[in-house]
Every structure is written in C-alpha cells, then in structure tokens.
A and B are shown apart, each in its own frame.
Chain A
C-alpha cells in the first residue's frame, strides 16, 4: 500500500508537502524512543509516534521510513516540518491513539 492510500483510508491529516504518492509502506513500527526505532524499525515502515520534533525526521530519513504518523492530535514543530518537506518525508496526523492507529494499519496491511 502506498502512503497516499493510507492517508485516504484513515483520513489522516497531511501536515507537509509530501503525500507519498510513490512511497510503499512495508509495515509499521510504533515507538517513541528514537534508539528503539533506529535499531528495530525496517526500511519502508510507517512510524507511529508522538515525537513531533526535528530529530524524528533525522531518524525517519536515516532508516528510510515511509512516513511519520503523529498520534493524539500532535502537530509537528515548525523545524520538523521544514526538514520533512526538504527530504520529502510525509508527516501525517490523527486524533486516534497509538494503539488504535497501529491496529487499523495492521489490519489494512494484512489484507
């Protein structure tokens, strides 16, 4: 599934300029610890987190994650969004919790 399809299916907010029309989602990883994501997430994973600062983009870029989904109505800090736009990483948002978001994405990807 492409990131743009996930945006439509879960009605996610798109904060930046990247919508991931050509970015394939390989799976998901849910964590707020940057070292955990660095060490355990797989390339192409959608990252579900509340970390809304610039360092999240560094992690997503270095590990080649497909998108960042900010949970619980969290919004990205300005410099996070600037960096995300520069690198073409979709930063998305939802009002749902990490648990609910992960469950929905898990089911969508399982099909």
Chain B
C-alpha cells in the first residue's frame, strides 16, 4: 500500500499533517503501538526538515508485509555536509524557527535512532533524498 504526501516549504502551520495522516493509517491497520511510535517520530522529523530547510518536497510511504519504507524527497537546496548534519546539535535553522522550538539539531538523529535503516543522498542539483526502513 502506498501513501503520498506533498510537503510545502515554510508552511509550519501544516507541519505534522502528513505524519498525522499516516499515523491514522497505521492505527487502522493495527500496527504495534511501539512501532507506530518509532515511525511517527522519524516521519515527523523528516516532514519538519522538508518544511524548514527545503524548497518543498514529497513523502512516499510504502507499507509492506514486513516493513514500512518511507522516502522523503525534496527539490533542494541539498545538504553540503551530511556527516556534519548528522551530528546531534548541529543545525542551520534560522533564529525564528529555533524560537518555535525547532532547529535543535536533533531531527536526523531522531530519525536514525528510530529507523532500522536510514540512507541519505543529497546534492545541490537534485536535492535531498532520505530513505527510512522500519521493520514491522
């Protein structure tokens, strides 16, 4: 089963809508609450990253019998140094975004911690693609 969500850049009032919609799907499918929790944490962080840092993007969630795979793809501007971005506490968020309680530099770490596998590729031309696998 595939679910797709378009994510608007900079629109914080909608940040979390995709995560919330996908959470409802998982609940309806009776997925283990502990697994839902991990998926939701990782997905929300990814969704907020697209809102806060990208030119906009898309989230595609595939539910398979033994895993959920989530691809978060944006149209840029890309992450110049992924290793640095993965460090807890490192953030490029603006002061206004930080004031709202975002931009603590914990997003990618939360995603990595809650997924069974995470792959990031990024370039200035193609934007950033994050793939998350969570086993069911």
Contacts and interface: CB of A to CB of B under 8 A. Distances in A.
The 4 closest A-B pairs by CB, nearest first: A58-B16, A35-B106, A34-B101, A33-B104
A36 B110 CA distance: 9
22 contacts: A32-B101, A33-B104, A33-B106, A34-B101, A34-B102, A35-B104, A35-B106, A38-B41, A38-B110, A53-B100, A54-B12, A55-B12, A55-B101, A55-B102, A58-B16, A58-B19, A59-B44, A62-B16, A62-B19, A62-B41, A63-B41, A79-B13
Contacts of B110: 35, 38-39
B104 A36 contact: yes
Interface residues of B, number: 24
A70 to B, nearest CB: 13
What does DSSP make chain B's interface, helix, strand, loop or mixed? helix
Given A53-B100, A54-B13, A62 B40 contact: yes
Main secondary structure of the interface of A (DSSP, over half): helix
Interface residues of A, number: 20
